[in-house]
Amino acid sequence: MANTDNATTHAALTGHEEHDAHGEHAGHDEHADHGKPHGFWHRWLTSTNHKDIGTMYLVFSCIMFFIGGAHAMLIRAELFHPGLQFFDPGTFNTLTTYHGLIMIFGAIMPAFVGLANWMVPMMVGAPDMALPRMNNYSFWILPFAFALLIGSEFVPGGGGGTGWTIYPPLSVEQGYALPMMIFAIHMMGASSIMGAINVIVTIMNMRAPGMSLLRMPLFVWTWLITAFLLIAVMPVLAGAVTMLLTDHFFGTSFFNAAGGGDPVMFQHIFWFFGHPEVYIMILPAFGIISEIIPTFSRKPLFGYDAMIYATASIAFLSFIVWAHHMFTVGLPLASELFFMLSTMLIAIPTGVKVFNWVATMYRGSISYEPPMLWAVAFVFLFSIGGFSGLMLALAPADFQYQDTYFVVAHFHYVLLTGAAFGIMGGVYYWLPKWTGHMYNMTLAKWHFWMSAIWANVLFFPQHFLGLAGMPRRVPDYATQFTDWNVVSSIGGFAFGLSQILFVILLWQCARGGERATGRVWEGARGLEWELPSPAPYHSWTEAPSMATLERGAPMHQTHG
């Protein structure tokens, strides 16, 4: 194997400087022209290394998950009992708004970009991302963007209280917070676009010889398609919020009926972005699950080609279903019909994915290490979220569900137990590769079981609340909703506390532990497992040999 550099990445997850410096001197070998740069600031602020940048993305996302989660805890505390206990209604709306924005743009999306940074070059046999400096740029925009966003919660007059969907005219009424939110969104958009360009170019241009498109692991495929979605829709969001800005400050009439505009037009533009956005948050998770399940079933992924087609169809359909978020705004009958039917179609390719995962497990040889536990939970719970999605897609039924906790339950099943669980699975899958250490299996299993159980206690009752008529985005509710809210809040607090286990585990694993082998998991196949653990600072400085490629190629190829 070409790559012999063993410089450790102890410090990778913690950014711990001492370790870094030691590793540097100890692990440096002469002919490998690539040591880690000296010095904390130099290494992290100016980094052009895909792993360091990936680490920063992941750490950032983890922090945002906690900040977004803290907002959620406050929401659940207020909703624990009827009556207002802690917050005035305006503050509550702010909490909801920022919880949604922070989780989506701060926690989930950066986590996926972080995983792509770490894994895509390793998986396609490249030394690094294609545009390393821009990679750094796309990361470092984020902390600044979130400084603006979170800062806007504390300006006089309070943060924006519009929900993450920032519908006008309500949003145009917001005070000082409005331009801060809008410009923060612009910055996040710029970051996402650059990140996506980098991923696409890396995949299209940096594959090792022999790594044909149809040999790429599914995580790479799903990210390729996701990146395309990102580049297509983030600019549209930027356009939409720009129109809000000019409506507020410069007297344009985009969303003002008196001037010939239409508030509903914002919703069309927003959801043209917003719906693909939700698939942006799930497709990479699909990719991760498609890596994990074959590994722990010791069997190649069932229906590799079908998986790719399914992903592409979901991406395509995602552009023509946006108005299912708008069934109650008074669309003409023909549009309602069109958007209802096109939305329902998405169940088919998504079903293909679920069936393929199940078929991969069927007649496999399954073991239940932590990544597999998350993956299995994902398949169950994402499907439940998908089922409620399908119910929402039926326009007349949506008249009853729209803007109730039924919707909240739906999207937390697909986002928390879907996207976030997928990320968790990915972290548990690749963590030993990153740190070079195995993690504490007992702790990992505790974290999983606590999360899986409490997430259901947290969100399953919200289906009932919604069906019984509790609207979303309210700080207070009629007394008949109390019981399920109590259950949900208890689930929420317990789920939140369980996440502390995760941090402890990460911390321990970054600092030490049993040494991980290169392959880590018995059934793992793929180029990333052909590198030592921890992976060398620069992944494939020389392209993997044909033999390595054959050995590491996804199993669907070797066993075709």
Partner 1 sequence: MATTHPNSDKYYIPHGSPWPILGSVALFAIMAGAISYLNDWTGAWSFLPGPLLLAAMFFGWFSTVIGESQHGTYNQEVDRSFRMGMMWFIFSEVMFFAAFFGALFYARRLAVPWLGGEGVKVLNKLYLWKSYNPGWPTNGPAHVGGLSNGTFSVIPPFGLPAVNTLILLTSSLTVTIAHHGLRSGNRVLLKTFLALTFLLGFSFVSLQIHEYGEAYRELGLRLSTGIYGSTFFMLTGFHGLHVTIGATMLVVIWLRTMRGHFTPNHHFAFEAVAWYWHFVDVVWLGLFTFVYWL
Partner 2 sequence: MKIKPRLLLATLAGLCPLLAAPAAHAAWTLNLTPGVDQVSRDIYGLHMLAFWWCVAIAVVVFGVMIYSMARFRHSRGVVADTGLTHNTRVEIIWTTIPVLILISMAVPAARVLVETTDASGSQMDIRVTGYQWRWTYEYVGTGVKFVSSLDRMSDAARQLGSTIDPYSVPHYLLNVDHPLVVPAGVKIRVLVTGGDVIHSWWVPDFGIKKDAIPGYVNEAWFDVDPDKLGTYRGQCAELCGRDHGFMPVVVKVVSKADFATWLKQQQEAEKTQPPTAATSTSASAAAPAAALAAPSG
Asked whether position 186 contacts Cu ion by CB under 5 A, the answer is no
Shortest distance (Å) from residue 318 CB to partner 1:
14
Residue by residue, what is the 3-state secondary structure of 129-185? CCCHHHHHHHHHHHHHHHHHHHHHHHCCCCCCCCCCCCCCCCHHHCCCHHHHHHHHH
Site string for ligand HEA, 141-170 (x = CB under 6 A): ----------------------xxx-----
Asked whether position 196 contacts partner 1 by CB under 8 A, the answer is yes
**Omega of the bond leading into 534 within 30 degrees of 0 (cis):** yes
Distance CA 61, CA 54 (A): 10
Asked whether position 144 contacts partner 1 by CB under 8 A, the answer is yes
Four-CA torsion 235, 237, 239, 241, nearest 10 degrees:
-150
| 71 part of the active site | no
8 A C-beta contact, residue 555 and residue 301 = yes
Of the pair 384, 524, the CB lying nearest ligand HEA is at: 384
Q: Could you identify the residue written with the tokens 């600072």? A: 537
Question: For partner 2, which residue of 31, 41, 156, 333 counts as binding (CB under 8 A)?
Answer: 333
| 528 part of the active site | no
Distance CA 492, CA 484 (A): 12
Residue by residue, what is the 3-state secondary structure of 50-115? HHHHHHHHHHHHHHHHHHHHHHHHHHHHHCCCCCCCCCCHHHHHHHHHHHHHHHHHHHHHHHHHHH
| 279 part of the active site | yes
Half-sphere exposure of 315 (CA within 13 A, CB side): 24
- Tally of CB atoms within 10 A around 502: 22
Residue by residue, what is the 3-state secondary structure of 88-103? CHHHHHHHHHHHHHHH
Question: For partner 1, which residue of 72, 95, 103, 238 counts as binding (CB under 8 A)?
Answer: 238
Each as own residue / partner, the long-range contacts of residues 89-93 (CB below 8 Å, 24 or more positions apart, any chain) are 89/475, 89/476, 90/158, 90/161, 91/158, 92/475, 93/161, 93/162, 93/163, 93/473, 93/475
Asked whether position 235 contacts partner 1 by CB under 8 A, the answer is yes
Question: For partner 2, which residue of 37, 163, 496, 518 counts as binding (CB under 8 A)?
Answer: 163
| 507 part of the active site | no
Identify the bridge partners of residue 404 per DSSP, sorted by sequence position.
471
**What angle is formed at CA 264 by the lines to CA 263 and CA 269, rounded to 5 degrees?**
105
Structure tokens at 69: 């989660």
Among candidate residues 299, 2, 291, the one with its CA nearest the CA of residue 118 = 291
Of the pair 445, 473, the CB lying nearest ligand HEA is at: 473
Q: What part of residues 396-425 is at the interface with ligand HEA (CB under 6 A)?
A: 398, 401-402, 407-408, 410-412, 414-416, 418-420
Choose, from 19, 43, 51, 99, the residue flagged as catalytic. Answer: 99
Asked whether position 365 contacts partner 2 by CB under 8 A, the answer is yes
Residue range at the interface with Cu ion (CB under 5 A); choices 107-115, 152-160, 221-229, 267-275 = 267-275
Asked whether position 470 contacts ligand HEA by CB under 6 A, the answer is no
Q: What part of residues 270-299 is at the interface with partner 2 (CB under 8 A)?
A: 297-299
Question: For ligand HEA, which residue of 51, 186, 207, 325 counts as binding (CB under 6 A)?
Answer: 325
- Give me the residue whose beta carbon is nearest to ligand HEA: 69
Structure tokens at 285: 């998770």
Residues 6+ apart with CB under 8 A from 197: 131, 134, 227, 231
Q: Could you identify the residue written with the tokens 């899986």? A: 452
Distance CA 422, CA 283 (A): 10
| 99 part of the active site | yes
The identity of residue 534, as a single letter, is P
Asked whether position 80 contacts partner 2 by CB under 8 A, the answer is no
Residue 196's binding partner among Cu ion, partner 2, partner 1, none (Cβ under 5 to 8 angstroms by kind) is partner 1
485: region left, alpha or beta (phi > 0 left; psi from -120 to 50 alpha): alpha
Choose, from 192, 226, 318, 548, the residue flagged as catalytic. Answer: 192
Asked whether position 87 contacts partner 2 by CB under 8 A, the answer is yes
Distance CA 450, CA 452 (A): 6
| 128 part of the active site | yes
Of the pair 5, 369, the CB lying nearest partner 1 is at: 5
Question: For partner 1, which residue of 239, 348, 504, 515 counts as binding (CB under 8 A)?
Answer: 239
Shortest distance (Å) from residue 303 CB to Cu ion:
25
Site string for ligand HEA, 54-93 (x = CB under 6 A): -----------xx--xx-xx-xx-----------------
Residue range at the interface with partner 1 (CB under 8 A); choices 142-150, 295-303, 402-410, 411-419 = 142-150
| 353 part of the active site | yes
Question: For partner 2, which residue of 21, 155, 231, 329 counts as binding (CB under 8 A)?
Answer: 329
CA 290 to chain centre: 16
| 247 part of the active site | no
Shortest distance (Å) from residue 440 CB to Cu ion:
38
Asked whether position 272 contacts ligand HEA by CB under 6 A, the answer is no
Site string for Cu ion, 275-314 (x = CB under 5 A): x---------------------------------------
Q: What part of residues 41-70 is at the interface with partner 1 (CB under 8 A)?
A: 42-43, 45-49
Q: What part of residues 250-269 is at the interface with partner 2 (CB under 8 A)?
A: 256-258, 262-264
The residues that touch Cu ion, with contacts defined as CB under 5 A, are: 275
**Active site residue ranges:** 99, 128, 164, 191-192, 275, 277, 279, 290, 324-325, 350, 353, 472
